[in-house]
Amino acid sequence: MSSYFTEENSAQAVNARMTDQADPRVKQVMACLVKHLHAFAKEIDLTQQEWEVAIDFLTRTGQISSGERQEFILLSDVLGFSMLVDAINNRRPGGATENTVFGPFHVDGAPEREMGDNISLDGKGESCLFQGRVLDLNGDPVAGARIDVWSDNADGYYDVQQPDLQPKWNNRGIFVTG
């Protein structure tokens, strides 16, 4: 096959030039990404104007991202891609609850709390009681299961969005089943 770039062999031509990648898995992932991106553009007959709109969208997404605000992960969530990757990497047997992603406002290290504790440290907003059971595939209770809970405040903000207004760990806690 010719290494010249044509519409017909576009993905192959690009992938043929990816020779300096030391990690075989990275090379495999990138080659597959190129193949599917090129197939997508061909399938919808992507116009130059449409591509420029997409590039502008991605550029603006990157420009508003920062260490505290990761817009690309939000985009991944909106597109369902985060859930798909999580489902692939956390396959469950039939009858088990499907896994889900934490979302953008999960924070590791929340304090462990006693069952029935109120996680609203500032006491604002209406109380909400969460009840549930953690069962194994046979329907038996699971002792020691860690339930990670977090919620926004009465104004719709998480503690990490308002560190100067909300107490640390407001509306967060880890509950352990008995």
Provide the CATH number for the domain around residue 147.
2.60.130.10
pLDDT band at 25 (very low <50, low <70, confident <90, very high): very high
Nearest to 120 by CA among 82, 171, 178: 171
pLDDT for 1 beyond 80: no
Residue 69: per-residue pLDDT? 81
Task: Give the span between the Cα atoms of 97 and 99, in whole angstroms.
Answer: 6
Together in a domain, 41 and 110: no
In a domain, residue 59? The reply is no
Beta bridge partners of 147: 175
In a domain, residue 84? The reply is no
In a domain, residue 159? The reply is yes
pLDDT band at 48 (very low <50, low <70, confident <90, very high): very high
* Number of structural domains in the chain: 2
Helix axes 71-78, 48-63, angle to 10 degrees: 130
Element spanning 174, H or E: strand 172-176
Nearest to 103 by CA among 78, 128, 125: 78
Q: Residue 154: which domain range?
A: 105-178
Point out the domain boundary residue: 10, 26, 46.
46
Total Cβ atoms within 10 A of residue 170:
23
Contact indicator for 126, 135 with CB cutoff of 8 Å: no
The mean pLDDT value for 153-161 works out to 93
- Which pairs with CB-CB distance under 8 Å and at least 24 residues apart come from 52-56? none
pLDDT for 100 beyond 70: yes
In a domain, residue 12? The reply is yes
In a domain, residue 88? The reply is no
In a domain, residue 9? The reply is yes
In a domain, residue 51? The reply is no
Nearest to 123 by CA among 158, 166, 157: 166
